[in-house]
Chain A
Amino acid sequence: MQTNHPQTGVTTAQNHLPQVQEPRNPGTDLDMDWVASVQANTSAIERRAATLPGRRSVKKEFQAAWLLKAITCIDLTTLAGDDTPGRVRRLCAKAANPVRADILEALGVSGIHTGAICVYHEMVATAVDALHGTGIPVAAVSTGFPAGLSPFALRVAEIEESVKAGAEEIDIVISRRHVLTGNWQALYDEMRAFRAAAGNAHVKAILATGELATLRNVARASLICMMGGADFIKTSTGKESVNATLPVTLVMIRAIRDYHEATGFRVGYKPAGGISKAKDALTYLALIKEELGNRWLQPDLFRFGASSLLGDIERQLEHHVTGRYSASYRHAAG
């Protein structure tokens, strides 16, 4: 299936990706009964999260395959004030060639690249250009990222600008104040507006869970963003003091599961911030597999927002191939 973006004429991201495509989540009406009925028992959720790494473990070639899968789900990210076109081009090159060729060859695999590149709006055009022909989409953080407190009209306009610049995925930030004050209607309306502004670009709704105070709020905000048409829900900007955690993940993916059960639409999940070890990535994948099933272990429904995770995975893969522990300088810098 080939579709062209209405504004840019650019072939959209999903067409490049090998996996089965899902119909986009169109959202639903705001169902406050459902939102109000949501429960999240913190200590039980923490226990589940704490015991999972002890319950699931992947070894040897299974571990290698899972780590490769993790790479294909990484939104390789740079969101720094000192980003320059040169820096972004280097990162894009890394996204297209994330693992040393000899290692991939030894593993018997090819065609591995990251899920996306994630940058600020100003870097979108550079990234789109650098990634031309790779099939890797560009994601832009948007809507006054990371705090989301710039004028509403500007936030909406920012989405439109990024889409125009070629971003095929837009990572929006929600207004945390709407959650903390229980103004669910406002949160829903905001999400609806952002989704509309994004057009055919996929929208990832960043909840900034580290600022939502309770898991119940996380669960409610997750549901409302899905009702508002989010294609993905995402934990964090990476700028909060607490970013992705397993308990938060559990709450969000259970909300995704319920939403799928109720509507038939699959919404994607993106944990972001703080996931820097290969072992952590395996735990996340196992949690997704356990709670949502294998279908969600594909880059159209799962992404890691991470900058340093790839480096650790590369080292683990080399260890798998050679039997010797690796060093970071042996792998190309991102």
Chain B
Amino acid sequence: MNVSEIFETMDYGPAPEAAGEALAWLVDGGDKFGLFIDGDFTKPGKTFPSRNPATGETLALLTQAREKDIDLAVAAARKAQPKWARLSGHARAKYIYALARLVQKHARLFAVLESLDNGKPIRESRDIDIPLVARHFYYHAGMAQLAEAEMPNTEPLGVCGQIIPWNFPLLMLSWKIAPALAMGNTVVLKPAEYTSLTALLFAQICQEAGLPKGVVNIVTGDGAVGEMIVNHPDINKIAFTGSTAVGRRIRQATAGSGKSLTLELGGKSPYIVFDDADIDSAVEGLVDAIWFNQGQVCCAGSRLLVQEGIAERFYAKLKARMDGMRIGDPLDKCIDVGALVDPVQLKTITDLVDKHGGDGEVYQPATPLPENGCFYPPTLITGLQTSSVLMQEEIFGPVLVATTFRTPAEAVELANNTRYGLAATLWSENVNLALDVAPKLVAGVVWVNATNLFDAAAGFGGNRESGFGREGGWEGLQAYTKRKITTKPLKQIAPQPGSEKTEVDGLDRTAKLFVGGKQARPDGGYSAPVWSRRGDLLGHAPISNRKDVRNAVEAARGAKGWANMSGHQRAQILYYIGENLSARADEFADRIHDLTGGQRKTAVAEVETAISRLFTYAAWADKLDGAAKSVPIRGVALAMNEPVGVIGAFCPDDAPLLGLISVAAPAIAMGNRIVAVASQPFPLAATDFYQVLETSDLPGGVVNILTGDHNELAPHLAGHADVDALWLFSSSDLSAVIEHESAGNLKRTWVNNARTRDWMSPTSEGREFLAHATEVKTIWVPYGE
């Protein structure tokens, strides 16, 4: 077209970003890359091609790492770690700062390489991905600087195995590497096989920054390499971002290994539009929600929920907006939707829509797609029901599914009607409505009148099957540090041996289970004798079975009002429990003494500590403040500490009262409900304790107490899909079972890894427990009139 023709058509025309520098970088590397281990690149081994998804052309050949490569990488990281951790925070900060600067210096090279490799529009890699990468390293340079002063009593985990996805290759690398390094860990990172190039360029800047050898190791290859990392015995932590299916396998594979684990998985995030929203802005927001990075975003607002009264108008505006979207060459600066990462993804998405799109009405703009390459048009499917497959399954492509709601309550119900819980978006001009709904959404991140906002200072991560752990902010550092506490190897605590004497002294008392605020007989109708240190029969404790677990969880789920009570109200009840326990302190001391033997003064001390611990958590109930994060927008990112939900706990066996209170009190102080399985050898202190609870105004279902065999109950409680977290402090070594069974709904776990701690110690209370009892939800609220 000549100028006068364009003057009439007013077309955009091509606006290509030059790829010369990035291609030259590949040529300089011989178009063939080895692994980055111990500060150097290895010679390329057996290779696989890395392709440009927009053209199908091979960009470079990458090495498929072998088992022994992983051994070398882990060994290098292991060797480097102690020295790296011993460096001053300032020294580590200087290295991380250098990485930030180098990312900025090579910003365009990184951006072009990313778009070539991944297919994302250059606008996104240039304006979003790479700036966020630099920001993440800057932010965590600061965390390295501050850690010594601000995070006493914590230490690094050691060697971290990190496995990242292909949708934000360099950004996910930064989210993994920056906090790990800042806290004194070393890493073995595996980029996704489709998109390893920017990780290799990053390896080069690690060299330029003079990073000590072995601190960062980068190994390439397919899922088999990921498995080698996951299963490697000398790795302390696995951090994974990717699909829920793979996350679940990793959870099972690492069960009982003692490895820390954080998972950032899939989502089907709701995008809620209320009828008082700025509709045009909400439509535009969808472009950033579901068509950002071709919809290949774990937190994509992929499930549109529109208030019924405005739905028709909203859909019409949305379709008009879709008609204007430009699809094509990712390196064109004037493109909205680039290429999907691989033909495999294209096929998955195509098949899903072809098979299930008919449940609703499919709309795709008439915009022509490029003839070659992995392109899929922006797609809207309206008229779907919650039961539709496309409404439930993550599509991970540019496909938006939609349905309507009538009321705010229904919006919340539909939004939460999913196995996932990563992110949510809501649009309303009514601040009351927005701030009421945001906390009710099951999601780690909520955006109000915006979408897909990210920043290093704000935590990101999910609930439910979207995984656990946060990345970013102070809360993100928990994933790369642990508390310095003294533990000892676990020793099974045995009950007192029985005797011939089978009569109870005095009037027989029947210990029961405590479920839903009521004493309940065990479903199975069996009880086991409990003996005193002198061989007297103290009584019988119920033997719970899986149905008792079911009943207790149901009662706990039902007690949702507890989470909505104010911290002050919860504090009053915790104080009152302490008061009532204090009134019966002698009796409990006798009971503990009878059960556990030893000296009576130890039993007295246990009761006193238990009362004090109740006071501690009563105190905390209204003091675990959230935060207003310093994010680079006009607005606030609120970090709110929310209860995890229903927590299952196997209580310590050695301290029958203090153990129960040490786990139940922090849980309920934060608004959780708990199903606590009492000390297996000494259950009667817990069954006495429910009488204290009954007189302390604690609503039914908030604390539920089961007794019985931990081995027997572990798989049922850990496998229950309506339990949100599971804590294990039993003296039975059940870490592997618990972690394995938890994979079903990917609940958070906190297991003792066959170690035991001193429950009398002040280190067995406080922030560590509160952190496990809360989820940080980040609510982004941009403002301005």
A329 located at the interface, meaning its Cβ lies under 8 Å from any Cβ of chain B in the complex: no
Are A57's CB and B334's CB within 8 A? yes
> What's the least CB distance linking B582 to chain A, in Å?
53
Q: How many residues of A contact B (CB 8 A)?
A: 39
Are B429's CB and A39's CB within 8 A? yes
Separation of A66 and B285 alpha carbons in the complex (Å): 28
Are A45's CB and B7's CB within 8 A? no
Residue A61 contacts which of B1, B126, B280, B284 (CB distance < 8 angstroms)?
A: B1
Known: A55-B336, A65-B6, A66-B10. A42 touches B15 (CB 8 A): no
B42 located at the interface, meaning its Cβ lies under 8 Å from any Cβ of chain A in the complex: no
Separation of A216 and B280 alpha carbons in the complex (Å): 13
Are A41's CB and B3's CB within 8 A? no
Known: A55-B336, A59-B15. A108 touches B4 (CB 8 A): yes
Q: Which residues 194-220 in B have Cβ within 8 Å of A in the complex?
A: none
Closest to A219 in B: B278
Q: Please, which residues of chain A bring their CB within 8 A of the CB of B4? A: 65, 107-109
Stretch at the interface among A46-54, A82-90, A264-272: A46-54
Convert B1-32 into 0s and 1s, putting 1 for each residue whose CB lies closer than 8 angstroms to a CB of A: 11111110111111100000000000000000
B353 located at the interface, meaning its Cβ lies under 8 Å from any Cβ of chain A in the complex: no
Q: Which residues 246-293 in A have Cβ within 8 Å of B in the complex?
A: 254, 285-286, 289-290, 293
Convert B265-290 into 0s and 1s, putting 1 for each residue whose CB lies closer than 8 angstroms to a CB of A: 00000000000111111101100000
Separation of A58 and B3 alpha carbons in the complex (Å): 12
Separation of A217 and B280 alpha carbons in the complex (Å): 16
Are A61's CB and B12's CB within 8 A? no
Known: A61-B3, A65-B3, A108-B4. A43 touches B635 (CB 8 A): yes
Known: A39-B276, A40-B278, A61-B13. A214 touches B785 (CB 8 A): yes
B413 located at the interface, meaning its Cβ lies under 8 Å from any Cβ of chain A in the complex: no
Are B784's CB and A58's CB within 8 A? no
Interface centre among A58, A62, A66 (most CB of B within 10 A): A62
B626 located at the interface, meaning its Cβ lies under 8 Å from any Cβ of chain A in the complex: no
B563 located at the interface, meaning its Cβ lies under 8 Å from any Cβ of chain A in the complex: no
A330 located at the interface, meaning its Cβ lies under 8 Å from any Cβ of chain B in the complex: no
Are B429's CB and A58's CB within 8 A? no
Known: A39-B278, A54-B127. A65 touches B284 (CB 8 A): no
B450 located at the interface, meaning its Cβ lies under 8 Å from any Cβ of chain A in the complex: yes
Closest to A214 in B: B785
A44 located at the interface, meaning its Cβ lies under 8 Å from any Cβ of chain B in the complex: yes
Are A57's CB and B127's CB within 8 A? no
A56 located at the interface, meaning its Cβ lies under 8 Å from any Cβ of chain B in the complex: yes
A69 located at the interface, meaning its Cβ lies under 8 Å from any Cβ of chain B in the complex: yes
Q: Please, which residues of chain B bring their CB within 8 A of the CB of A58? A: 12-13, 15, 334
Chain B binding surface, main DSSP class: loop
Q: Please, which residues of chain B bring their CB within 8 A of the CB of A65? A: 3-7, 10
Q: Please, which residues of chain B bring their CB within 8 A of the CB of A285? A: 10
Residue B10 contacts which of A46, A61, A215, A289 (CB distance < 8 angstroms)?
A: A289
Q: Please, which residues of chain B bring their CB within 8 A of the CB of A44? A: 278, 281-282, 284-285, 449-450, 782
A68 located at the interface, meaning its Cβ lies under 8 Å from any Cβ of chain B in the complex: yes
Closest to A55 in B: B123
Closest to A298 in B: B10
Closest to A289 in B: B10
Are B281's CB and A109's CB within 8 A? no
Q: Please, which residues of chain B bring their CB within 8 A of the CB of A216? A: 785
Separation of A294 and B324 alpha carbons in the complex (Å): 11
Closest to A59 in B: B15
Separation of A284 and B785 alpha carbons in the complex (Å): 23
Are B6's CB and A41's CB within 8 A? no
Are B334's CB and A56's CB within 8 A? yes
Closest to A293 in B: B324
A132 located at the interface, meaning its Cβ lies under 8 Å from any Cβ of chain B in the complex: no
Closest to A44 in B: B281
Are A48's CB and B281's CB within 8 A? yes
> What's the least CB distance linking A54 to chain B, in Å?
5
Separation of A179 and B549 alpha carbons in the complex (Å): 64
Closest to B6 in A: A65
Separation of A107 and B4 alpha carbons in the complex (Å): 8
> What's the least CB distance linking A284 to chain B, in Å?
13
Q: Please, which residues of chain B bring their CB within 8 A of the CB of A108? A: 2-4
Separation of A59 and B324 alpha carbons in the complex (Å): 19
Are A254's CB and B7's CB within 8 A? no
B600 located at the interface, meaning its Cβ lies under 8 Å from any Cβ of chain A in the complex: no
Interface centre among B284, B336, B633 (most CB of A within 10 A): B284
A60 located at the interface, meaning its Cβ lies under 8 Å from any Cβ of chain B in the complex: yes
B333 located at the interface, meaning its Cβ lies under 8 Å from any Cβ of chain A in the complex: yes
Closest to B324 in A: A290
A230 located at the interface, meaning its Cβ lies under 8 Å from any Cβ of chain B in the complex: no
Closest to A106 in B: B3
Are B450's CB and A47's CB within 8 A? yes
Are A43's CB and B123's CB within 8 A? no
Closest to B635 in A: A43
Q: Please, which residues of chain B bring their CB within 8 A of the CB of A290? A: 324
Are B13's CB and A60's CB within 8 A? yes
Are B10's CB and A69's CB within 8 A? yes
> What's the least CB distance linking A160 to chain B, in Å?
37
Separation of A148 and B500 alpha carbons in the complex (Å): 106
Closest to B279 in A: A39
> What's the least CB distance linking B435 to chain A, in Å?
15
> What's the least CB distance linking B187 to chain A, in Å?
32
A167 located at the interface, meaning its Cβ lies under 8 Å from any Cβ of chain B in the complex: no
Q: Which residues 331-390 in B have Cβ within 8 Å of A in the complex?
A: 333-334, 336
Closest to A72 in B: B7
> What's the least CB distance linking B317 to chain A, in Å?
9
Convert B576-613 into 0s and 1s, putting 1 for each residue whose CB lies closer than 8 angstroms to a CB of A: 00000000000000000000000000000000000000
Closest to B2 in A: A108
Are B15's CB and A57's CB within 8 A? yes
* Further pairs besides A43-B782, A56-B12, A62-B12: 14, Cβ < 8 Å: A39-B278, A40-B278, A43-B450, A44-B285, A45-B278, A48-B284, A57-B15, A61-B6, A64-B6, A65-B3, A68-B7, A108-B2, A214-B785, A290-B324
Q: List 6 A-B contacts (CB under 8 A).
A: A41-B278, A43-B633, A44-B284, A44-B450, A62-B12, A294-B9
Instruction: Pick the 10 closest A-B CB pairs, nearest first.
Output: A62-B13, A65-B6, A44-B281, A43-B782, A41-B278, A39-B278, A57-B15, A42-B784, A57-B333, A65-B7
